Structure 1
Amino acid sequence: MKELENEYVIRAMGKDDIEEVYQIELLSFSTPWSKDSLYYELEQNLFAKYVVVEYKGRVIGYCGLWVIMDDAQITNIAVHPEYRGKKIGEALLQFSLQLSKELGAKRLSLEVRVSNHIAQALYKKLGFETGGVRKNYYTDNLEDAIVMWVNIDD
């Protein structure tokens, strides 16, 4: 990330970011969230917090969180394919961990495909542990999801 480290910013997601976030969804997931879902998250869901990574005026990544009492859950996290492998996802995840803590969460969870070993390695690097499996979680191919947790109240 050396070439990016002083040129990107992580900030709150706004409605003007939805088109770029949606494009990242399309490039990243076989069952992407709809634009309507993203609008709902920003405008209606009182538990939702979304952040984006902006680089040279372009959204290159984002993360969605739900924070309910002392539990936080990552709903989605993705980096544009052109910017993967540059530690953007790690920075975004670390920011989201800190944001969750600031919002009063004591633990953060997420689901990850059993086949997504790259993401699992990142999550483990940041202290996440396997908490269980959700059978047939992903609707596109009925792949199982690993539930991972990290305590953030330390």
Structure 2
Amino acid sequence: MSKSKLELKLITTPDLNAVLELDMACFGGFWTLEAYQRELDSPNSVLLGLFAPFSPLELLAMGCYWSILEEAHITILAVQPQYQGQGLGQAMLYSLLKTAHDRGLERATLEVRVSNQAAISLYQKFGFKTAGRRRRYYKDNDEDALILWLGDMQYPEFQNTLENLRAKISDRLSQFSWYLVNSH
């Protein structure tokens, strides 16, 4: 069985229609076109996509973080619903953390719905710990958010952690006939 290429790229303006479709599929319209354009224009924002050039849905996953001082604040991590469970979320989170690490950031943080067990489990796999809770954070249903935190990203051990994760993610992706290439 042949493997399909997944390309990790920085998202650019021509990709925004696909970004909006993915946002709608995962979040029901979390951010607007203007909001995503602001992310692209901001020097403190990194918006990455996993593209499958020969797939009917070209943009399979995306992630975004803001650099705030020495922290990567992860704002979005989304995987097309029909491709969830294939390792793409892991590949996206790995790519965000690797990019943040390469930029010298020391820690990462994010908010996640308390009911989103799949996401919480993913973040815990990467070493995120619960740092607190934001009451009624999500306006659509007043759901609480957990604040998750990952430190020590500039310690040598973190580089080892990233390498180990990369190998595991590669194995996971290959089970679904994907292989990841960096093109940014």
Q: What range describes the TM-score normalised by the shorter chain of this pair?
A: over 0.9
Q: CA RMSD in A?
A: 1.5
* Larger CA Rg, structure 1 vs 2: 2
Displacement of 1:3: 7.0
TM-score (norm 2): 0.78
Q: Select the structure with the greater relative contact order (CA < 8 A; seq sep ≥ 6).
A: 2
Q: Which residue of 2 aligns with 1:12?
A: 10
**Stretches of structure 1 lacking an aligned partner (at least 5 in a row):** none
- Structure 1 moving runs of 4+ over 2 Å: none
The number of residues matched between the two structures is 151
Residue identity in the other structure for 1:46:
P
Residue identity in the other structure for 2:45:
A
Q: Which residue of 1 aligns with 2:169?
A: none
Displacement of 1:31: 4.8
Within 5 Å, which residues of 2 pair with 1:1-154?
Answer: 7-43=5-41, 45-57=42-54, 58-151=58-151, 152-154=153-155
Displacement of 1:39: 0.7
C-alpha distance in 2 between matches for 1:69 and 1:3: 43
Distance 1:60 1:3, change over 3 A: farther
Q: Percent identity, aligned pairs only?
A: 30
The structure in which a higher percent of residues are helix is 2
**Stretches of structure 2 lacking an aligned partner (at least 5 in a row):** 156-184
Map Cα deviations across residues 41-91 of structure 1 (whole Å, 9 max, x no partner).
112x22101100001251111101101221111111101112111000001
